[in-house]
Structures are given as structure tokens and as C-alpha cells.
Amino acid sequence: MSVIKALTRKRNSNFDFCAKRRREIVVHARHVGAAETEDLSRWLIAWVWHNRKAKDQIWSVMECARNMGRKITEAEASAITEEASITRKHLSADNLARFLGVTFEQRQRLGLTTIGSVNVKKSARKELRKRNDRLAKKHKRRALGMRPQSESLSATQPWRELGMSRAAWYRRNKARRDSETTLSAPIFLNSEDRPVSPEGGAGLAERGFASKKVRGYPSSQTATTMVADRYATLPLELRLAALCLPIPENLARANIGVAA
């Protein structure tokens, strides 16, 4: 019962497991030429097992046989449907592969994913997938210029051959090849992006941001001077009060005397 529920389960709204397995059964029948043998009924029976929702099963079997390469009569289709209902169902991937005689070579050539194989079991296929995945990732790393672990600096330790410490070797080989810094990261590149000159010449800083002076904005020092000039005409005691600073006693007594 759990196998049947697994077959009818949909992974997403557009995926039907039984429909995909029916297509793979037809593909394998065409590949081995089942229509030219007396065992065509095996593929048709397996196809019927995965076509439980058909409204007209007999017509569906006739169409399936035609797709496999042979025309059958309505009586033959009815007999196949009856035989499928009384035959022990082989619904798991490897059991269905044994029922149809699917080999691993055929599985790989036809791109079958819902049917197993008779000569390579599920656990072995899983290990092969892991191995192929590791090899694919290895080739991708080599294409990007990455070295294997056996050729890494930690494994080769080139500083030992030169008789120096690891830190000294890194300092020597980390020096820049030229006096210019690199361009900014791609996400910050724009048409005005330029390298930064070590002599402090004119140009944009890294990541495409120019200085405030180049962009026409006042610097923080200029802004502070402008704010200070704004309060230059105010009396001293008001400026001290605005800055929350204590007013000297002599200044306060002088102001009281002037007011009196």
C-alpha cells in the first residue's frame, strides 16, 4: 500500500510519476523491439499497472501497443487488461526492471529514472551518482584554476625549500606586482571607475565613490566651519548655552550688571 501511495504522490503540480513511468516503459519497449516478440504483453501489463485512472482502459491499451509498434485487437487488449489485474504487481524500480529485463546500460542510454536495472542495484547506482557528481565538481574546479589538495601550499610548503618561515614567504609573495590598486568589485563598476593612484592624484576611489570635494559636497571640516560661522554673530553667553556649556560666573555677573 505504501508503494502505491508513493507512486501516486506528486512532487509538484506539474509532475505525475505514473505518467513518466508509462513513457519510460514505452521507450524501453521500442528500444528492445518488444513489438516484434511474443512478450509484448509484459510491457503492456506493466503499462496498465500505472494507468489506473483511465476511463477506457481497453482503448488505452490498444493505443499503447500501437505506440510500441504493433496493432492489437480489442479482444487482445481486453485479455491483457484482465491479465494485468490478476498478475502480481511489480511497482518498485528494481522489481519492475526485473519484470521487463532492463539492464543498467539500457537505463543509462535511454535516460530512465523511474525504472531500476537488473545488474546494478539501487545502492550501487547511488554510489555511482555520488562518484559522477564528485568528478563533475572536480572538473569544474580545475576549469576555474583551482589546485587539488595535494598541490596546495599547506601540502607542498615551498617556504621550507627556501629556508624561511611561512609568514616571511607569504609577505614576500603577497607583494603587489604594480603600484596601482585593482578596480572595484563588479557590482560597483561604472563608467567612471578608475584605479587609485598611490601619489594621491585626482581620480575616483575604489568602488566608484569619489571624494566629497570631487562630487561638489562640502567636507566634514568645511561643514563644521559653516555651522560655527552661523553663530558667530550671537552673544557669547547664547553660544555657550546653545552648546550646553557652563557660563563663567564673571560673565554672568557682568551681564546682570549691564541689565541693571
- What is d(CA 221, CA 206) in angstroms, rounded to the nearest whole number? 22
Residue 16 amino acid letter: D
Q: How many CB atoms are located within 10 Å of the residue 215 CB?
A: 9
* Residuewise pLDDT in 10s, the chain (260 residues): 455 555 555 455 678 899 999 999 999 999 999 999 888 999 999 999 999 888 899 999 999 999 999 999 999 999 999 999 999 999 999 999 999 999 999 999 999 999 999 998 989 999 999 999 999 998 888 888 877 777 777 788 888 888 888 888 888 887 643 333 444 444 444 444 454 444 444 444 444 445 555 556 555 555 555 555 566 666 777 777 777 767 776 665 555 555 54
Whole-structure pTM value: 0.54
Distance linking the first and last C-alpha atoms of the chain? 105
Q: Cβ distance 141 to 135 under 8 Å?
A: no
Q: Cβ distance 61 to 81 under 8 Å?
A: yes
- What is d(CA 242, CA 122) in angstroms, rounded to the nearest whole number? 81
Residue 71 amino acid letter: K
Domain ranges of the chain: 2-120, 180-217, 220-259
What's the grid cell of residue 61?
491499451
Q: Cβ distance 93 to 122 under 8 Å?
A: yes
